[in-house]
Amino acid sequence: MMVSANTRRGCYLSLLNIIQGDVDPTQVHKALQRIRERRLVSFIPWGPASFNVALSHKSPYLKHRHKVSGLLMANHTCIHQLFAKTLVAYDRIRKRNAFIDNYRREPIFADNLDEFDDAREVVFNLKEEYLAAETPEYVDWGAAAADTGEDFDVPAEPADRQIAPPLGGDVDDDDDLAGVVATLPP
């Protein structure tokens, strides 16, 4: 899944940069060093920076306009914003029981919609885990709860970042996310 989200807050869990064309590996190494030294990208506080680069040559059988092309794929904690918007949209639909009739015709949903509610809970927990990954305590996050069988202890989210209310809560209009494209320094 490819998503555009605001990466100004949060941190990267990992990055993969695929560069195709005539590139000097030493230039790539120097650019990565500058990124690390200047701290242009914030990585998770509880682990090493995972920045992988794959270099490849262009096909001699295809004509290309550009000398170099690239693709950057990232796993960033800002993805929780997408999950939060999904939860808000689900809560709106579920509150009004919109589009539910088609599912009620299926045998699995004839008696109740527990599958939907369970899926909502999974998405909510995933959102909370991405938020917890931004903190240094993430390494121990959920370890004690796994031993006792209790729910995971999720750190409190700042009030300005709370997006998705629990099921049945009031749902406000959510803000659109602006896409941000990160560029490497020359």
Quick: pLDDT tens for 104-143.
Answer: 888 888 888 888 999 999 999 999 999 999 999 888 887 7
pLDDT at 18 over 70: yes
pLDDT at position 167 is 42
Burial degree of 107 (CB within 10 A; 0-12, 13-18, 19+) = exposed
pLDDT tier, 12 (very low <50, low <70, confident <90, very high otherwise):
very high
**What's the Cα-to-Cα distance from 161 to each of 74, 118, 131, 133, 158, rounded to whole Å?**
21, 24, 10, 15, 5
53 touches 28 (CB < 8 A):
yes
Who contacts 163 (Cβ-Cβ below 8 Å, separation ≥6)?
A: 81, 84, 85, 87, 88, 174
**Burial per residue of 57-95, b for 16 or more beta-carbon CB atoms within 10 angstroms, e otherwise:** eeeeeeeeeeeeeeeeebebbbbbbbbbbebbebbeebe
The residue with tokens 């270099």 is: 55
Residue 104 φ/ψ, nearest 5 degrees: -65, -20
pLDDT tier, 178 (very low <50, low <70, confident <90, very high otherwise):
very low
Q: Report residue 125 CA to chain centroid gap.
A: 13
Instruction: Say which residue, 153 or 65, is predicted with more confidence.
Output: 65
Nearest-angstrom CA–CA distance, 131 and 2: 19
pLDDT tier, 99 (very low <50, low <70, confident <90, very high otherwise):
confident
pLDDT tier, 155 (very low <50, low <70, confident <90, very high otherwise):
very low
pLDDT at position 3 is 75
- pTM, rounded to two decimals: 0.68
